[in-house]
């Protein structure tokens, strides 16, 4: 029987000063996207299942939006109908690369402008639209035309972003294009502990992953993770979710990439040795 004492044992080992051995890192994402490194053993753990929403908001062809806001690859991948939009705003280069192909297929009658934001959280999105709004006003006090944003996203996504955009004076039309199912990761994580004896770090790729951990482990086990396990967040949103839940050993990667997360882990473990 593998239980809380195994969680405790693995966590204690993860804080060991001896880091010459191969590091065991649990990454909550698909295995195909993980690099191969000589001193790091990546263990892929599936925490989420993405499902398309069958009944989606359909937009009339004659309706033209000022902005199509794309914050994730899945938001556009599972969107059935692409609306006419003057400007496509992408959050991050990876999202832009996936979206550009569909952008070409659905933009035969018009040429939308593409904007790639170098941000990994909603704060950066709000800052961008706030700057746009200020530029449009140009110091004028009279009311400006209301700009329309089409915003495809997950059913579980945080609703604060849309609310803040409306507060800035935008008309926001939300379309839920996919849903994120939270899976149990207990069996996968405990099998990893049993097989390798220790886990050195958890790589958190979205706040939903933390919901999967909370769903899979008891409160006592989560308390052990919070005190002893090293958590590397892929971006500011995931990092903030860790801080809000009071994970003591939480670190934010300098860029939303696996290799950046590895660098953050190595730097953190080195600081523990010093």
Q: Please give the class, per CATH, of domain 58-179.
A: alpha beta
- Average pLDDT value for residue range 13-23: 59
Q: For position 56, what pLDDT does the model report?
A: 78
Total Cβ atoms within 10 A of residue 112: 16
pLDDT tens across 117-161, in order?
887 678 889 999 999 988 877 756 666 788 999 999 988 777 889
pTM confidence score: 0.74
Distances (CA, A) of 235 to 25, 94, 121, 257: 17, 14, 7, 9
CATH 3.40.50.10090 domain range(s) in the chain? 4-49+182-273, 58-179
Pick the CATH number of 4-49+182-273 from 2.30.30.110, 3.40.50.10090, 3.40.50.150, 3.40.190.10: 3.40.50.10090
First to last CA, the chain: 37
| β-strand pairing of 84-91 with 171-182 | unpaired
d(CA 268, CA 265): 5
Structural tokens at position 170: 């935008």
């Amino acid at each position: 029987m593998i239980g809380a004492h195994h969680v405790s044992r693995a966590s204690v080992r993860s804080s060991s000063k001896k880091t010459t051995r191969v590091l065991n890192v649990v990454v909550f994402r698909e295995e195909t996207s993980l690099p191969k490194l000589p001193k790091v053993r990546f263990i892929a753990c599936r925490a989420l299942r993405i499902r398309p929403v069958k009944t989606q908001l359909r937009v009339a062809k004659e309706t033209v939006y000022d902005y199509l806001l794309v914050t994730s690859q899945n938001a556009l991948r599972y969107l059935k109908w692409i609306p006419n939009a003057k400007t496509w705003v992408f959050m991050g280069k990876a999202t832009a690369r996936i979206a550009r192909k569909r952008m070409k297929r659905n933009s035969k009658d018009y040429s939308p402008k593409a904007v790639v934001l170098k941000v990994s959280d909603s704060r950066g999105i709000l800052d961008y639209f706030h700057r746009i709004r200020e530029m449009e006003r140009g110091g004028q006090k009279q009311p400006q035309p209301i700009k329309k944003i089409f915003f495809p996203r997950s059913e579980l996504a945080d609703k604060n972003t849309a609310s803040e955009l409306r507060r800035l004076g935008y008309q926001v039309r939300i379309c839920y294009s996919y849903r994120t199912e939270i899976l149990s990761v207990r069996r996968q994580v405990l099998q990893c502990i049993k097989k390798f004896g220790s886990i050195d770090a958890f790589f958190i790729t979205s706040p939903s992953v933390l919901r999967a951990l909370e769903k899979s482990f008891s409160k006592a086990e989560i308390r052990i993770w919070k005190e002893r396990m090293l958590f590397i967040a892929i971006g500011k949103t995931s990092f903030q979710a860790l801080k809000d839940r009071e994970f003591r050993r939480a670190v934010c990667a300098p860029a939303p990439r696996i290799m950046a997360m590895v660098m953050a882990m190595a730097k953190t473990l080195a600081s523990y040795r010093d």
